[in-house]
């Protein structure tokens, strides 16, 4: 599957736009629609085809399919709060191996971008702290991933004003579009190790319905994200098998 990631991601992008536009039902009923089968199993929501793709990647790396949990079944305890329902959690033999969040934004950028940032920073800080305090013992440090699919359109390419009634904002935010702000959030979460990897994908409705997408930052490519996740879970499975074989 790693060899065919581009077409798999393209299918997931197409499913996203089809579902937003109400066309997804046609593909749920299509026997040859991989994205439709994946999303149908998970409930058919807009980002469910990405969740299904991640599940397939993890399973190909050696994790049993029933160890890949989604939504309610991916609920995990936190440190600063009692629990959090993750989009995907890999829980194998009583150990937490990975968690992934899938987010999208196609409109209302001014209202929602700060909410996305607060949510991501808070969730990732909470699970890291929970791991460090032994909440998931005897689990290894879990792999944390954040995927953002963002519409590339006139609104998202606007340069919003900044408010500085007390102090000046970080220079990198000055003059940044909404796309630029989100890219910076994803990149900084990786570099500050709030996540192991983040994938940042851009698309628009017209081309997205044909599965087109683009990746503006080499450090935030989906193939890098997928390879890192697969290596992490495969390494744990190999270690477990070697230990049992001794």
Give a yes or no: residue 14 inside a domain: no
- Predicted pLDDT of residue 111: 80
Q: How confident is the model at residue 165 (pLDDT cuts 50, 70, 90)?
A: very high
Containing 91, the helix (H) or strand (E) segment is strand 88-92
Count of domains in the chain? Answer: 1
Residue 33 pLDDT more than 70? no
Residue 197 Cα distances to 21, 124, 125, 189, 192, angstroms: 30, 12, 14, 8, 11
Give a yes or no: residue 125 inside a domain: yes
Residue 125 burial class via C-beta count within 10 angstroms: exposed 0-12, middle 13-18, buried 19 and up = middle
Q: Domain range holding 165? A: 68-245
- For residue 1, the tally of other CB atoms under 10 A from its CB is 13
Q: Say what percent of the chain tops pLDDT 70.
A: 86
pLDDT (tens digit per residue) in 18-29? 998 876 555 545
Query: Residue 153 in contact with residue 108, Cβ under 8 Å?
Result: no
Query: Residue 35 phi/psi, 5° resolution?
Result: -65, -35
Question: How large is the average pLDDT for residues 115-137?
Answer: 97
Residue 148 pLDDT more than 70? yes
Give a yes or no: residue 9 inside a domain: no
Residue 168 pLDDT more than 50? yes
Query: Residue 96 in contact with residue 89, Cβ under 8 Å?
Result: yes
Question: How large is the average pLDDT for residues 101-110?
Answer: 92
Give a yes or no: residue 80 inside a domain: yes
Question: Ramachandran region of residue 43, left (φ > 0), alpha (ψ -120 to 50) or beta?
Answer: left
Residue 119 pLDDT more than 90? yes
What's the N-to-C CA distance of the chain in angstroms? 31
Q: Give the global pTM.
A: 0.91
Give a yes or no: residue 45 inside a domain: no
Lowest mean pLDDT among 41-50, 130-139, 153-162: 41-50
Q: How confident is the model at residue 246 (pLDDT cuts 50, 70, 90)?
A: very low
- Predicted pLDDT of residue 236: 87
Residue 174 pLDDT more than 50? yes
Give a yes or no: residue 52 inside a domain: no
Residue 192 pLDDT more than 60? yes
């Amino acid at each position: 599957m790693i060899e065919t990631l581009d077409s798999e991601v393209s299918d997931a992008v197409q499913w996203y736009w089809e579902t937003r536009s109400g066309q997804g039902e046609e593909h749920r009923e299509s026997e040859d629609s991989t994205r439709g089968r994946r999303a149908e199993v998970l409930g058919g929501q807009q980002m469910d085809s990405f969740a299904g793709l991640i599940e397939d990647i993890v399973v190909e790396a050696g994790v049993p399919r029933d160890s890949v949990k989604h939504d309610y079944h991916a609920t995990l305890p936190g440190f600063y709060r009692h629990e959090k329902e993750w989009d995907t959690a890999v829980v194998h033999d009583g150990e937490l191996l990975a968690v992934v969040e899938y987010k999208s934004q196609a409109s209302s950028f001014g209202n929602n971008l700060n909410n996305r940032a607060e949510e991501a920073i808070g969730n990732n800080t909470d699970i890291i702290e929970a791991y460090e305090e032994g909440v998931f013992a005897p689990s290894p440090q879990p792999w944390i991933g954040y995927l953002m699919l963002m519409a590339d359109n006139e609104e998202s390419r606007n340069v919003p004003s900044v408010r500085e009634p007390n102090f000046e904002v970080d220079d990198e935010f000055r003059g940044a579009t909404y796309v630029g702000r989100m890219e910076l959030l994803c990149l900084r979460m990786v570099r500050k190790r709030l996540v192991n990897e983040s994938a940042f994908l851009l698309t628009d409705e017209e081309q997205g319905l044909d599965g087109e997408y683009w990746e503006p930052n080499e450090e935030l490519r989906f193939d890098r994200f997928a390879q890192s996740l697969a290596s992490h879970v495969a390494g744990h499975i190999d270690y477990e098998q070697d230990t049992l074989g001794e």
